[in-house]
Chain A
C-alpha cells in the first residue's frame, strides 16, 4: 500500500530512478575503467573517474544543503565548513598513513610538524592512525559543530538573512583559524602528499575506481535517507517550519529542534562528502572554508531546483561540468558565467532546471492532448513564493513584491 503510493508519484519515481542509476554507475564504471582496454570506445579513462567522483561528492554536499535550505528554509552559507571538516578528518587519517615515507621520515609526526619543529603529536591527532576512528570523526566533528551552532542559533530564533550571515561568519572564522600554522592542521598548505588508504595506494586505478564507487553509493544512500526523511511526518514538519515557523510553535512543535535535527543531519552528510572528496583530489587545505565556496554550493542547489531531491544533484553536476569547461577554455569568463548564473536562477528559474523541465513537460503534455500531470513534488516550494507568505503573515496581503524593512 505504502510502496504503491510512492510509485504513484512522479517525484518518487524520479528519486528511485536516481538511486538505481547511481548504484548502476557505481558497479559499472570500475568495470569500464579497469577491465575494458583503453582502445575500446567503452573505456572510461581514469582522469574521468576521478573528475566525476569529485562531482559526486559535490552533489552529496548540494543535497545536504538542499535538506536544510530547500526543505527547512535555512539558507546556510557555511556548509562548505562541514564539508571541509569531514575532509580534514579524512586528511588526518591519510596523513598518519604516510608514516615514515614522508620527506623527513618521521614515523609519527607528519612532515609539516617536523618542519615546524614540533616534538610531539598534538592530542587531537591521536587515533587518526585508525580508519574506524577517522570515519567516526568524519561524522562526529561536523555533526557536533552543527549541533552546537544550531543549538544556540535556532534556540534564540535567529532566522533568515541573520542566520545566513552568521553561518558565513562561522566558515570565515574557521578559514582564518585553519590558516594558522599553530592550529596543527598544516597551515595554508593543508594536508597533502597522501600515500595510501586502508593499505591501498591512493594513486592506483583500482583505488580510484573504488573511491568513485564509494562516492556513488554514498550519494545513493544519502538520496534514500533524504527521501525517507522528507517523506515522513518529520519532513512535513520541516516544510511547515519553512513556510510558517511560528504556526508550528503554536501547535506545540519546537521549530528549533526540527531545524537542529535537519541541520545536524545535513552537516553529517556534508562531512561524509568531504571525506570522500579528499582522497580523490589528494589535498585538503583551508581554501575549502572560503565563504565563496559555500555560496557556490548554494547556486548548484538553486540551479538544479531546491526543495527537490534530484535537483541539487543535477545542479551540482551541471554547474561543475560547466566550471571545468570554462576554467579550461575561457578562464576569464568563468566568474561572469557564475555571477550571471546566480542572477538568472534567482530571477527567472526560482525552481531550477527541474522545475523548468516539469513546466515544459506539462505544456508539452497539454499540447499533445495527453492528460498526464507532471510529477508534483509535494515538497517543492509552493508557487506562491515565500515572499507572499511573508507579506501575508504581516497582514498585508499584497501580491506584488515589496521590500520589507529588516527585522
Chain B
C-alpha cells in the first residue's frame, strides 16, 4: 500500500504552504462543517470535491486526514476535527490551522468513513490541487507523486497543467507523470512507446520500477521498448552509482589528506616519522570537544560558530605540543629515523593515556553545527553537508599549505632545508628553527584535521590510531617532499578503497588496498612523485 507514504510525503512537503493563512477561511470552514452531515460515501465525496474546487492549498490538511481516516466529528456540536488516536482518547486539532483543540474520548466522536475509492479520489484531488499551486516546487512534487502512482484518470489534469506550466523543469516532470499515466492507461502501443522514452529520460529508480512493471505486464513492441529502456536506465544508474562511489572516495580521500598532509611535511622536510601524529589529530578533536562544551554551557547562541573557535585553538594546541616534542625529544635523534619512530611512538602512548585520564576512555560527544547537518541530492547522488564541507576544507588547507610552501619566505626556507641542509645553513638560514617550526606546523595541521574529523568520527583517545597507518600509506604512496603527491595519493587511495568496498566488503577492501600499496612500493620504493636524481640517491 503506497498511500500512507505518499500522504506523509505530501504532508511534510506541504506543511510550509499551509502556514499561509487562507483568504477565505470562513468559507472553507463552512464547507468542512458539511462533513458532519455527510451520511454516506457519496456525500463525503461531494464535500471533498467541493473543498478541492476552492483551489485553496489550505484544504490539504483536511483531505489528508480524511484519506487517512483521521477526520472526526464531535457528537456534541457537530464540529469537525483532525484527530490522532492515542489509546482510548483522541487528540484533536483544528482542521485548517492544525492548532491543538483538546482531547476527546472515542465515544464522544465519530470518524468520517472512507473507502478505497474515496481515498483514490482524494489523492487525485490533492494532485490536481497541487498541480495548480502557485509554488513551482509544490507543482513539481505533485507531478512526482503522480509519476510514482500513475493513474490513467490523471491524464486530463496533467494535460491542462502542462499547457499552462511555465517552468521548464516542472514541465518536464509533468510530462513524465503524464507518460507514466499513459503507460497504465489503455492507450495505443505507439503512444506507450513514446511514453516509455519520456520515462526513460527521467532515469532514476522510480522510472526503473515503473518500467519494470510495464515490461512485466505488456507484450510486443511496448515490452521491447520497456526492456531497452530498463537497460538504458540501469546503465545510467550504474554511472551515478560510480559517481556516488567517487564522491565517497573523495570524501574519504580528503579525510586522509587532512590526516596525512602534516605528516608529509615533517617527513619530507626532516625525514622524521612522527608516530604521535595521530595523537595530534586526537588533540585537535578534543580541543573541539572542550570548545563546544564551553559554548554549550556559557554561550549556547554561538554553537554554530564553535568550529570557527576550535580551528585556531586546535592548531595552537597541537602545534605547541608538536613544538615541545621536537625541542624535547626529536632534535636529539635527528639522523636516526628508526629511533625517532620509537620515541614518538612512546610519546603517542603517553598522550593517549593522558587524554584517557583527563577525559575518560569513552567517546565524547561532539555536535555538528546546523550548517553541517543534513544533506542534499545531486542528480542521483546523495551528499551530506558535513562531508561536503570537509572536502572543501581539506582542499582549502591544501591550498593554504601550498601557498605557504611556494610563496612565503618561510616556505622558501623549508624547501631550501629540504634540498640541501648544509647549504641552507651556510646561507644563514637557522635550520634548527626551521625544523622546529616545520614540526609545529605539521602538528598544527594535524590539530585542525582533528577538528574536521570530530565532525564525522568518534572522539575517543584512540581516534588518532585509526588514522596513523592510513596516513603513512598515503605519504608512502604519494612520495615525500611533494604536496601534490600527498593530494593525489590521498584521493586515489580514498577512491580505490571505496570502489573495492562494494565488491570485497569494507575490511577485505582495506586489506586489498594495503596489499596493493605493499606491492606498489616494490615497484616505486619512493612513491608516485619521488624526487629523482643523484642528490637523492647519494
A and B in direct contact, judged by CB atoms within 8 A: yes
Q: Is A155 an interface residue (CB 8 A)?
A: yes
Q: Is B337 an interface residue (CB 8 A)?
A: yes
Q: Is A281 an interface residue (CB 8 A)?
A: no
Within B302-340, the residues touching A (CB, 8 Å) are 329, 331-340
B488: A residues at CB distance < 8 A: none
Stretch at the interface among B39-47, B237-245, B399-407, B504-512: B504-512
Closest-CB distance, B376 to chain A (whole angstroms): 33
Q: Is A406 an interface residue (CB 8 A)?
A: yes
Q: Is B55 an interface residue (CB 8 A)?
A: no
Q: How far is the CA of A333 from the CA of B536 in the complex (A)?
A: 43
Are B337 and A402 in touch, CB under 8 angstroms?
Answer: no
Closest-CB distance, B518 to chain A (whole angstroms): 5
Closest-CB distance, A275 to chain B (whole angstroms): 24
| Interface positions of B (Cβ within 8 A of A) | 267-273, 329, 331-343, 345-350, 352-354, 356-357, 417-419, 421-422, 431, 435, 465, 469, 472-473, 476, 480-481, 507-508, 510-511, 514-515, 517-519, 521-523, 525-526, 536-538
A391: B residues at CB distance < 8 A: 335
Are B522 and A155 in touch, CB under 8 angstroms?
Answer: yes
**Residue of B at shortest CB range from A155?**
B522
Q: How far is the CA of A324 from the CA of B336 in the complex (A)?
A: 31
Closest-CB distance, B275 to chain A (whole angstroms): 8
User: Which one of B331, B349, B422, B523 contacts A335 once the chains associate, using CB atoms below 8 Å?
Assistant: B349
Q: Is A383 an interface residue (CB 8 A)?
A: no
User: Which one of A149, A152, A350, A390 contacts B335 once the chains associate, using CB atoms below 8 Å?
Assistant: A390
Q: How far is the CA of A407 from the CA of B346 in the complex (A)?
A: 24
Stretch at the interface among A41-49, A124-132, A291-299, A307-315: A291-299
Are A160 and B421 in touch, CB under 8 angstroms?
Answer: no
B335: A residues at CB distance < 8 A: 385-388, 390-391, 401-404
Closest-CB distance, B431 to chain A (whole angstroms): 8
Q: How large is the interface on A (under 10, 10 to 19, 20 to 34, 35 or more residues)?
A: 35 or more
Q: How far is the CA of A121 from the CA of B198 in the complex (A)?
A: 55
| Interface positions of A (Cβ within 8 A of B) | 75, 149, 152-153, 155-158, 160-162, 164-166, 168-170, 172-173, 176-177, 179-180, 291-292, 295, 298-299, 302, 332, 335-336, 338-343, 345-347, 350, 385-388, 390-391, 393-396, 398, 401-407
A295: B residues at CB distance < 8 A: 342, 345
Are B341 and A401 in touch, CB under 8 angstroms?
Answer: no
Are B536 and A346 in touch, CB under 8 angstroms?
Answer: no
B267: A residues at CB distance < 8 A: 406
Are A396 and B422 in touch, CB under 8 angstroms?
Answer: yes
User: Which one of A155, A388, A406 contacts B268 once the chains associate, using CB atoms below 8 Å?
Assistant: A406
Closest-CB distance, A255 to chain B (whole angstroms): 14
Q: How far is the CA of A94 from the CA of B275 in the complex (A)?
A: 37
A343: B residues at CB distance < 8 A: 329, 343, 346-347, 350
User: Which one of B331, B342, B480, B526 contacts A342 once the chains associate, using CB atoms below 8 Å?
Assistant: B342
Are B346 and A291 in touch, CB under 8 angstroms?
Answer: no
Are A162 and B521 in touch, CB under 8 angstroms?
Answer: yes
Given A162-B476, A347-B333, A387-B336, is A170 in contact with B538 using a C-beta cutoff of 8 Å? no
Are A161 and B273 in touch, CB under 8 angstroms?
Answer: yes
Are B480 and A406 in touch, CB under 8 angstroms?
Answer: yes
Closest-CB distance, A217 to chain B (whole angstroms): 31
B-side binding surface: helix, strand, loop or mixed? helix
Sampled A-B contacts (8; CB under 8 Å): A75-B338, A156-B522, A158-B521, A176-B510, A342-B346, A386-B338, A404-B270, A404-B421
Given A335-B353, A385-B336, is A406 in contact with B481 using a C-beta cutoff of 8 Å? yes
Are B481 and A405 in touch, CB under 8 angstroms?
Answer: yes
**Residue of A at shortest CB range from B420?**
A405
A179: B residues at CB distance < 8 A: 507
Are A170 and B345 in touch, CB under 8 angstroms?
Answer: no
**Residue of B at shortest CB range from A152?**
B522
B343: A residues at CB distance < 8 A: 342-343, 346-347
Are A161 and B523 in touch, CB under 8 angstroms?
Answer: no
A402: B residues at CB distance < 8 A: 334-335, 421, 431
B357: A residues at CB distance < 8 A: 332
Q: How far is the CA of A386 from the CA of B490 in the complex (A)?
A: 32
Are B518 and A152 in touch, CB under 8 angstroms?
Answer: yes
Given A176-B510, A299-B342, A332-B357, is A386 in contact with B336 using a C-beta cutoff of 8 Å? yes
Are B526 and A407 in touch, CB under 8 angstroms?
Answer: yes
Are B271 and A162 in touch, CB under 8 angstroms?
Answer: no
**Residue of A at shortest CB range from B525?**
A158
User: Which one of A173, A340, A398 contacts B346 once the chains associate, using CB atoms below 8 Å?
Assistant: A340
B517: A residues at CB distance < 8 A: 166, 169
Closest-CB distance, A127 to chain B (whole angstroms): 25
**Residue of A at shortest CB range from B335?**
A387
Closest-CB distance, B421 to chain A (whole angstroms): 6
Are A298 and B538 in touch, CB under 8 angstroms?
Answer: no
Are A387 and B536 in touch, CB under 8 angstroms?
Answer: no
Q: How far is the CA of A401 from the CA of B334 in the complex (A)?
A: 5
**Residue of B at shortest CB range from A389?**
B335
A403: B residues at CB distance < 8 A: 269-272, 334-335, 421, 435
Give the interface centre of A164, A165, A179, A393 by most chain B CB atoms within 10 Å. Answer: A165
Are A341 and B346 in touch, CB under 8 angstroms?
Answer: yes
Given A75-B338, A169-B514, A404-B271, is A342 in contact with B345 using a C-beta cutoff of 8 Å? yes
**Can you name 20 extra interface pairs (CB under 8 A) apart from A153-B518, A161-B273, A345-B342?**
A160-B338, A161-B338, A166-B476, A166-B517, A168-B469, A168-B472, A170-B518, A176-B507, A176-B510, A177-B508, A335-B349, A335-B353, A336-B350, A339-B348, A339-B350, A347-B332, A390-B335, A394-B538, A401-B333, A403-B335
Are B353 and A332 in touch, CB under 8 angstroms?
Answer: yes
Q: How far is the CA of A169 from the CA of B349 in the complex (A)?
A: 19
Q: How far is the CA of A161 from the CA of B273 in the complex (A)?
A: 7
Which 10 A-B pairs rank lowest in CB-CB distance, beginning with the nearest?
A: A342-B346, A387-B335, A339-B349, A339-B350, A335-B353, A403-B270, A403-B334, A156-B522, A339-B346, A173-B514
Q: How far is the CA of A91 from the CA of B352 in the complex (A)?
A: 33
Q: How far is the CA of A23 from the CA of B93 in the complex (A)?
A: 89
Q: How far is the CA of A336 from the CA of B331 in the complex (A)?
A: 21
Q: How far is the CA of A391 from the CA of B335 in the complex (A)?
A: 7
Are B271 and A405 in touch, CB under 8 angstroms?
Answer: yes
Closest-CB distance, A253 to chain B (whole angstroms): 19
Q: How far is the CA of A406 from the CA of B481 in the complex (A)?
A: 8
